[in-house]
Amino acid sequence: MDAGRRWALETFGTYGPHIREQVAEMVKAEHEASLDAQEASGYRSRSIYGEFWRGLLEKFEAFGELPGARLVRPGEAPYQLPVVNDVVLFPWRYAKSRKAEFATTRFATSDARIAVSSLRAPSVQTELELGLPDPGMNEEERRLLAALHADDPVISSNRLVLVAISSSVSGLFSAEWGEATLNAAGFIEWIGSPEGLLQLPLSKPASTSPSSSFTDGVPPNKFPDAELDETADNSNDE
């Protein structure tokens, strides 16, 4: 198995590979949907696309339905985050242009953001596992997971996996994920090397648009002059 799939399995448990695949698809699908909404609005302001982060947070709520997972609200935030295997999964659109640098973009800009870095899920009772997606594990991966559980029934504890995205109506510039920590200055530091999500193959079409597909790479730019006016994106990504 490749290193990225193994990391997902070790981090999130049984459904790690499924989460990895779905996160990549969700990011690409939400970018395309936001472009469509912006185009349909006819507005000069890019504020419609600026709601990208809200749509992605709603998509991520599906992970809260996995076994042992819960949706938890960070502080007084108007959204909930999935906590799977005691690992928080948070999508952060840190940049709206190619010029912004991840390392110099402050994460801790609100109480909710600060709460994300130490979020914990309440203990839950065992539930019947009905109607769940196939985790898609092969025999090698099942043996690995069994070995991990034999050493430690709880693979992870109070950890943050960040999905860091740079995008605008000009394009989906970057999307990567990995374990992260918040430093004293309010900036994110990666623990290890993040994995790029845009290069992962899709298992199924992420968009229902008859005129576009993600199977051939990053979606084309529908707003070729938008990079001249990135400030028109008035979003306030939480």
Mean pLDDT for back-to-back runs of 10 residues, the chain (238 residues) = 90 93 97 96 92 96 93 94 95 93 95 89 56 69 62 59 96 97 96 94 50 45 55 61
3-state secondary structure the chain: CCHHHHHHHHHHHHHHHHHHHHHHHHHHHHHHHHHHHHHHHCCCCCCCHHHHHHHHHHHHHHHHHCCCCEEECCCCCCCCEEEECCEEEEEEEEECCCCCCHHHCCCCCCHHHHHHCCCCCCCCCCCCCCCCCCCCCCHHHHHHHHHHHHHCCCCCCCEEEEEEEEEECCEEEEEEEEEEEECCCCCEEECCCCEECCCCCCCCCCCCCCCCCCCCCCCCCCCCCHHHHHHHCCCCCC
**Positive or negative CA dihedral for 60, 93, 74, 89?**
positive
pLDDT at res. 117: 87
Please give the pLDDT value at position 206.
44
pTM for this predicted structure? 0.79
Residue 41 lies in a domain: yes
State residue 122 phi and psi, 5-degree precision: -65, 155
Q: How many CA atoms lie within 13 A of 12 on its CB side?
A: 30
Residue 141 lies in a domain: no
Q: Is residue 135 part of a domain?
A: no
Q: What is the pLDDT of residue 39?
A: 94
Instruction: Name the nearest CA neighbour of 219 among 35, 66, 20, 2.
Output: 35
pLDDT of residue 209: 40
- Give me the half-sphere count of Cα atoms (radius 13 Å) on the Cβ side of residue 188: 30
The whole-number pLDDT of residue 59 equals 97
Question: Looking at residue 230, what is its pLDDT?
Answer: 55
- Number of folded domains in the chain? 1
Residue 38 lies in a domain: yes
Parent domain of 151: 3-123+147-217
- φ, ψ dihedrals at 82, nearest 5°: -75, 135
